Structure 1
C-alpha cells in the first residue's frame, strides 16, 4: 500500500505519516521501519529540522537511511514499513544537483518516480510525505517555477499510483483518496 501524505509547512504531516505507519504494522513489523531522509543539512535551520524530526521518531523503531538523491540506487531491506521524508527535499536535491546546476524537469521527474517505484518494490507499506507548493499565485524566478512545476508533476504521479492520499491541514488529516 502506498500512502501519499501532503500538506503545508509544519502542518503535522510527518507525525501523521509516522503514526499511520506504526498503526498499520503487524507485530512482525514492529520496530523494523525504514525512515528514508532526504534533507541535506545546509545550515542551522535545516539542521534544527533534522534534529527535531529525529527526536520525534526516537523510540518508535525507525532506522534512518540518509538518501538526499538517487532513491533508485538505495538498498532497502525487504518487508519493512518505509517512510519517505520528503519528496520536496528530494526534488530540490535532484533538480539542482550537487553543485546547484539545474537539471531537466522531465528527467528529474522520471528519476524521482523510478526511485519511488523502487521503494515500493521492497515494502507492503510505503508512506510518502510531500509539501503543497502550488497553492499561492506569486511570481517566482525561472528556477523556482521549474521546481514548482516538477513538484506538481511528481505529486500528481505519486497520487495516481497511491492507494491513499491524505492532506494534513493544521494537524487534521483529510482523506482525499482511498482505493
Structure 2
C-alpha cells in the first residue's frame, strides 16, 4: 500500500507519517532521508526529525538522489517492511539543482518528473507498504524566477502522479489530517 502525505511547511505531516508507520504492524521500518543539509537551519531540522524517530526502530538510509537504489544491498522480505520516504520536495530539488545548477539542464521538467516517480515507485515495490512525505509548494500565489517556477511545476507533476498511484492521499493542515483519497 502506498500512502502520500502532503502539507505545508511545519504542518505536522512528518509526525503524521511516522505515526502511520508505527501503526502498520510491520516489524522492519526504513526511513529514507533525502535532505542535503545546508547551514544551521538544515542541521536543526535534521536533529528535530531524528529526535522524533528516536526509539521507534527505524533503519535510516541517506539517499539524496536516485532513490530507487536506496535499499540496494539490504536484504529483506517485502512482506515485513514499511518505508517512510522523507521527503519528495528535497529529492526533487536535489535532482533538479544538482551540482549547484540553475535548473534541470538538458532534461525537461516532464522527463525529470517521470524519473522521480519511476524511482519512487521502484522503491515502493521493494517493501510491503510505503509512506511518502511531500510538500505543498504552489499555493502562495507568488510569481517566481524561472528556476523556482520550474521547480514548482516539477513538484506539481510529481505530486499529482504520485497521488494517482497512491492508495491513500492525506493533506495535513495545521496538524489536522484531511483525507483526499482512500
Name the TM-score class by shorter chain.
over 0.9
SS at match of 1:135: coil
Q: Are the aligned partners of 1:77 and 1:122 in contact in 2 as well (CA < 8 Å)? A: no
Runs of 4+ in 1 over 3 A off after TM superposition: none
What's the counterpart of residue 42 of structure 2? 46
Normalising by structure 1, what TM-score? 0.93
What is the CA-CA distance between 1:63 and the residue it aligns to? 0.9
Q: 1:118 to 1:45 in 2, by over 3 A?
A: same
Q: Deviations over 1:119-157 (max 9, x none)?
A: 111112100000001112111000000000000000000
What's the counterpart of residue 12 of structure 1? 12
Question: Equivalents in 1 of 2:178, 2:46: separation in Å?
Answer: 26
SS at match of 2:100: coil
Q: Deviations over 1:73-96 (max 9, x none)?
A: 222544211000000000000101
Task: Output aligned runs, 1:11-30, within 5 Å.
Answer: 11-25=11-25, 29-30=26-27
What's the counterpart of residue 81 of structure 1? 82
RMSD across aligned positions (CA): 1.1
- Structure 1 residue runs of 5 or longer lacking an equivalent are none
What's the counterpart of residue 141 of structure 2? 137
- Structure 2 residue runs of 5 or longer lacking an equivalent are none
